């Protein structure tokens, strides 16, 4: 617990209204989009970079854990205050400070909601492509801290590809102003890239300069139905081999299709093993149409039983509604779900889908799968019931098997959700001891007291023994500090 003196100091920095320490207030900052829950000792809501730096100086002086938080939409436990301490909520820092049309970039505070920003830049004919599923809630600061992705990454790249400048407050309160409105910059080490995807463990992002691109004038969307899963995998290769780089190549497997159909009754084919949702954009309607036709032909040649191209905005919207509903539709099927985020080389997508299905069967879980097939980034979901005795232990074994399968196929633990608490124990398996050692050395150089988002990203357990990697995490049933 923080003592009264520290709370007084925090109030002096951000104002009385913006330090919250009552139990009822803390509960709101104790969870994210996973099943975990652990309350902080205080929540501080700064308004300026200077306030953030002052809070950090205080926390660093006294060795108090400080957990930066955007909208709390993490699917990896990235912002759970495992160790107590101060949650630093950046939601009040939500100004779009500038949209610079001439330099096609924008300067924003970290608490701006992704979708709000996208709408603002689209009004002036510009486009910010990264589109994590949580974009109506997630904040740009969180997007940068996790290097967020989304369906459009195949053509447009991930959040990292849009960050031109960052203001970052370090653990000791020093403030770095990195980059700016220039597109290219090789002056020194690429620190902007180092802070991107650092999940709040190296510094607190207080301002972001984002690159924008011209808003494409035309879009075309198609859905391809595959009786056989392997054919959908071949289609992905064939599409990219056709010379077209679509905006999206989204996969849903049979169970995911059925979950959506149960939910939306759209007439999706329940017996298809896979569905690909494909979108292309561009400035020439004819070129976009041509490319979608090339894609459709590639899908048919590789075994699609049906390819439908949306002929109206309403049809396009219906196809996307199906894709966007996947997560909610899956959620209706069981009391709990956990969504994984593994990546494999694109050619291994069908094999990975098969392995996930086998792992689900072996451990007794339904495992609907969807994801960004063009990027090899899959979201296998496990449906479970946390109240069942032994369920979490079984889930732990199944999730570990999925991670091992991804690594075995030349893949990685996470494509866009981050490591957080959920995957930290597998970091050494994924990266090797030497690489992890270098990451620890960088963490030590920037945050020697380890106050920033402790317990995230780095393994806590001993090499090779990952038991408890899920079951030992704090939840509502066993709040942190009371075990």
Contact pick of 436, 461, 472, 478 for its own copies (by CB under 8 A): 436
Indicate whether 291 belongs to the interface with its own copies (CB under 8 A). Answer: yes
Residue 219 engages its own copies in binding (rule: CB under 8 A): no
Examine residue 435 and tell whether it contacts its own copies (CB under 8 A).
Answer: yes
Asked whether position 198 contacts its own copies by CB under 8 A, the answer is yes
Contact 234, 303 (CB under 8 A): yes
Compare residues 378 and 480 and give the one whose CB is closer to its own copies. Answer: 378
Q: Which two tokens stand for residue 29?
A: 């900052």
| Residue 416 contacts residue 150 (beta carbons within 8 Å) | yes
**Phi-psi domain of 316 (left: phi exceeds 0; alpha: psi -120 through 50; beta: other):** alpha
Looking at the Cβ atoms of 211 and 254, the one nearer to its own copies is 211
Provide the minimum distance between the beta carbon of 33 and its own copies in the complex, in angstroms, as a whole number. Answer: 16
Is residue 142 near its own copies by the rule CB under 8 A?
no
Dist. CA 231–CA 238, nearest whole Å:
10
Contacts to its own copies from residues 223-282, by CB under 8 A: 237, 240-245, 282
Question: Least Å distance between CB 453 and its own copies?
Answer: 13
Of positions 120, 137, 216, 401, contacts its own copies by CB under 8 A: 216
Question: Residue from 415, 454, 455, 474 that binds its own copies (CB under 8 A)?
Answer: 415
Q: Token pair for residue 272?
A: 């298809």
Query: Residue 464: which region, alpha, beta or left (left: phi > 0; alpha: psi -120 to 50)?
Result: left
Interaction residues for its own copies, span 295-314 (CB under 8 A): none
- Residue 70 near its own copies by CB under 8 A: no
Q: How far is CA 183 from the centre of its chain?
A: 25
x-or-dash pattern for its own copies, window 11-50, by CB under 8 A? ----------------------------------------
Dist. CA 416–CA 431, nearest whole Å: 17
328 belongs to the binding site for its own copies (CB under 8 A): no
Comparison of 45 and 197: residue with beta carbon closer to its own copies: 197
Query: Which residues are within 8 A (CB) of 362 and not within 5 positions of it... i.e. 6 or more apart?
Result: 398, 401
Specify the stretch interacting with its own copies by CB under 8 A; choose among 45-53, 83-91, 184-192, 312-320: 184-192
Applying CB under 8 A, the span of 20-28, 332-340, 382-390, 406-414 interacting with its own copies comes to 406-414
Residue 305, phi then psi, degrees to nearest 5? -80, -20
Contact 376, 249 (CB under 8 A): no
- On whether the CB atoms of residues 344 and 401 are closer than 8 A, the answer is no
Q: Which of 84, 130, 132, 149 binds its own copies (CB under 8 A)?
A: 149
Comparison of 37 and 248: residue with beta carbon closer to its own copies: 248
CB 44 within 8 A of CB 87: yes
Q: How far is the CB of 66 from its own copies (least distance, A)?
A: 18
Per CB under 8 A, the list member of 344, 398, 405, 470 interacting with its own copies is 344
Binding its own copies (rule: CB under 8 A), the pick from 345, 364, 468, 481 is 345
Tell me: does residue 450 bind its own copies (CB under 8 A): no
**Residue 151 Ramachandran class (φ > 0 left, ψ -120 to 50 alpha, else beta):** alpha
Nearest to residue 449, comparing CAs of 70, 58, 11? 58
- The interface region with its own copies, picked from 304-312, 350-358, 428-436, 473-481 by CB under 8 A, is 428-436
Number of residues that bind its own copies (CB under 8 A): 97
Q: Give the containing element (helix H, strand E) for 436.
A: helix 433-446
Q: Is 167 in the site for its own copies (CB under 8 A)?
A: no
Extended strands (E) in 3-102: 19-20, 42-44, 66-69, 86-89, 96-100
Cβ 265 to its own copies, closest distance in Å?
Answer: 33
- The only residue of 116, 193, 475, 478 in contact with its own copies, by rule CB under 8 A: 193
Query: What string marks each residue from 73 to 102 as x (binds its own copies by CB under 8 A) or -?
Result: ---------------------------xxx
In whole angstroms, give the CA distance from residue 138 to residue 188: 31
Which residues make Cβ contacts (< 8 Å) with residue 53, sequence separation at least 6? 169, 173, 174, 175
Q: Is 191 in the site for its own copies (CB under 8 A)?
A: yes
Q: Choose the stretch contacting its own copies; rule: CB under 8 A; options: 40-48, 63-71, 148-156, 460-468.
A: 148-156
Could you tell me if 413 and 374 are in contact, meaning their C-beta atoms sit under 8 angstroms apart? no
CB of 397 to its own copies, least distance (A): 21
Compute the C-alpha angle 214/219/221, nearest 5°.
Answer: 145
User: Which stretch in 39-47, 176-184, 271-279, 357-365 sits in contact with its own copies by CB under 8 A?
Assistant: 176-184
**Residue from the set 8, 177, 358, 388 that interacts with its own copies by CB under 8 A:** 177
Q: Does 161 bind its own copies (CB under 8 A)?
A: yes
Closest approach of Cβ 479 to its own copies, in Å? 29
Beta strands in 101-217 (DSSP E): 105-108, 126-127, 163-169, 175-179, 204-211, 213-214
Residues within window 348-387 making contact with its own copies, judged by CB under 8 A: 372, 375-377
Cβ contact 162:129 at 8 Å? yes
């Amino acid at each position: 617990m923080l003592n009264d003196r520290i709370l007084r100091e925090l109030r002096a920095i951000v104002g009385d209204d913006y330090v919250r320490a009552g139990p009822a207030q803390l509960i709101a900052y104790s969870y994210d989009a996973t099943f975990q829950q652990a309350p902080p000792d205080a929540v501080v809501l700064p308004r300026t970079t200077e306030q953030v730096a002052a809070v950090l100086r205080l926390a660093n002086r006294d060795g108090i854990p400080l957990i930066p938080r955007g909208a709390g939409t993490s699917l990896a436990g990235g912002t759970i205050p495992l160790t107590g301490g101060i949650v630093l909520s950046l939601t009040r820092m939500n100004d779009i400070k500038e949209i610079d049309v001439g330099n096609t970039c924008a300067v924003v505070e970290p608490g701006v909601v992704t979708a709000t920003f996208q709408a603002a830049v689209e009004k002036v004919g510009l486009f910010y492509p990264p589109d994590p599923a949580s974009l109506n809630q997630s904040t740009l600061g969180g997007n940068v801290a996790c290097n967020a992705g989304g369906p459009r990454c195949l053509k447009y790249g991930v959040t990292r590809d849009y960050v031109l400048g960052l203001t970052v407050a370090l653990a000791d309160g020093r403030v770095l102003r990195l980059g700016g409105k220039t597109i290219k910059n090789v002056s020194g080490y690429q620190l902007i890239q180092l802070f991107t995807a650092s999940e709040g463990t190296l510094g607190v992002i207080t301002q972001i300069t984002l690159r924008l691109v011209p808003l494409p004038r035309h879009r075309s969307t198609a859905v391809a139905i595959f009786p056989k899963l392997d054919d959908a995998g071949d289609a992905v290769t064939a599409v990219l081999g056709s010379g077209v780089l679509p905006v999206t190549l989204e996969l849903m497997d049979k169970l995911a299709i059925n979950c959506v159909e149960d939910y939306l009754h759209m007439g999706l084919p329940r017996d298809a093993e896979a569905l690909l949702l494909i979108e292309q954009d561009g400035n020439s309607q004819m070129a976009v149409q041509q490319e979608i036709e090339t894609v459709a032909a590639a899908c048919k040649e590789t075994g699609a039983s049906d390819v439908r191209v949306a002929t109206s905005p309403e049809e396009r919207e219906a196809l996307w509604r199906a894709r966007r509903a996947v997560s909610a539709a899956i959620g209706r099927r069981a009391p709990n779900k956990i969504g994984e985020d593994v990546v494999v080389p694109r050619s291994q997508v069908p094999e990975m889908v098969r392995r996930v299905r086998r792992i689900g069967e072996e451990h007794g879980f339904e495992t609907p799968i969807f994801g960004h097939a063009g990027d090899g980034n899959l979201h296998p979901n496990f449906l479970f019931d946390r109240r069942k005795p032994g369920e979490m232990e079984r889930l732990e074994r199944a999730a570990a098997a999925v991670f091992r399968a991804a690594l075995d196929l030349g893949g990685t633990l996470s494509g866009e959700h981050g490591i957080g608490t959920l995957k930290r124990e597998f970091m050494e398996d994924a990266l090797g001891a030497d690489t992890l050692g270098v990451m620890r050395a960088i963490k030590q150089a920037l945050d020697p007291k380890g106050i920033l988002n402790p317990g995230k990203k780095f393994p806590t357990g001993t090499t090779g023994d990952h038991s408890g990697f899920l079951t030992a995490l704090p939840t509502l049933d066993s709040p942190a500090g009371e075990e």
